[in-house]
A and B are shown apart, each in its own frame.
Chain A
Amino acid sequence: MAKFTKKRGKANPEVSTASLPDIIFMLLFFFMVVTVLRDAELKVSNNVPSATELTKLEKKSLVNFMYMGKPMINYQSTYGTKPRLQLGDKFANISDIPLFLEKHRSTVQEVQRPGISTSLRVDGDVTMGIVSDVKTQLRKSGQLKVNYSAKKRVD
């Protein structure tokens, strides 16, 4: 028994925290890699529906995003509750689409322009009216590659 009592005096065990920075850095790098800095602040509600037959969007620089949905609560006093279109970080009208597409097109190299696609991020509760209008306008502008953004559903 003496063996045990002897220890008590000097025992002051400390967990080494030297590796803590390394662990944190590891986490940090993970999040840095997966982070996509949002370029546009969402002004419309945007809860996309789920689907199974999904295609991945290939190159981010070749994609332009269009958001559709009800304006968020703090914008409802100015913009009402009807579903609206958001281009970039602004509310927009259907007639603004050609200019928006042209602006994006000019940032893309000429060789890559046929690969440009549009991602439609539409809230699930929106009715098809506004979506049809946008689709018609896209067809008129010659932007035919469209991706209806959706979440993965497993069934």
Chain B
Amino acid sequence: MPKKRAKDRMKPEVNAGSMADIAFLLLIFFLVTTTIDVDKGVYVKLPPWSNEPPPEMRLNSRNVYSILVNANNELLVRGEPKDIKNLREDTKEFIMNPRRLENMSQDPTKAIISFKNDRGTNYKTYLAIYNELKAAYNELREEEAQKKYGKSFEFLDKVDQKEIRSRIPLVISEAEPTNFGEEN
């Protein structure tokens, strides 16, 4: 074996071949631990708790949109059975009352949605209904924004958004659930 000259030995090189392996190892670790989280949800503001019974309020029944859900996940809207598919459109019509009907809300600011469920109602149904109600309000606000400012609601500035919100306030009143159905 011929002796190497010092000059040749002067080029030390770190072997980078295992770099990929190390990176792979880390990659697999993160792949396994990753949960691309669902960090979204339907936002609700609960009413504060008070021990006193709620004050007696005389409401004009035309302004109240009552929704009842029983333990079989069936809907009763203002005394009539209804399908959840029609709920959004109906709610919108009730709130705005475009035809000025006698049995619908006098004004969006006066409209109240009363929502009552049973302890045996499925959570999926509950959330679906809540989602429809919220969607109805969001769509109305969107339409109002388009009509008034020609812009989408989310692109309006804060003051205008507030104005529309006070024009179409979201009032969903949830009553204490009934207890007829069977819980799982």
Chain A residues at the B interface, C-beta cutoff of 8 Å? 17, 20-21, 24-25, 27-28, 31-32, 34-38, 48-49, 51-57, 60, 82-83, 117, 119-120, 122-132, 135-136, 138-140, 142, 144-152
Contact = CB atoms under 8 A, between A and B. Distances in A.
A132 B175 CA distance: 11
Contacts of B24: 24
A35 B36 CA distance: 7
B18 to A, nearest CB: 9
Given A31-B27, A54-B40, A129-B183, A49 B20 contact: no
A142 B48 CA distance: 7
A147 B42 CA distance: 5
Interface stretch (B1-9, B75-83, B89-97, B130-138): B130-138
A94 to B, nearest CB: 14
Interface size, B (range): 35 or more
Given A125-B123, A128-B123, A138 B128 contact: no
Interface in B34-51: 34-49
Q: Which 9 A-B pairs have the closest CB atoms?
A: A129-B119, A31-B30, A124-B124, A139-B49, A55-B43, A147-B41, A24-B23, A129-B183, A54-B40
B19 A21 contact: yes
Nearest to B139: A53
Contacts of A17: 20
Contacts of A128: 117-123, 126, 177
Contacts of B26: 28
Contacts of A28: 23, 26-27, 30
A54 B42 contact: yes
A122 B31 CA distance: 26
B45 A127 contact: no
B30 A32 contact: yes
A20 B30 CA distance: 18
A51 to B, nearest CB: 4
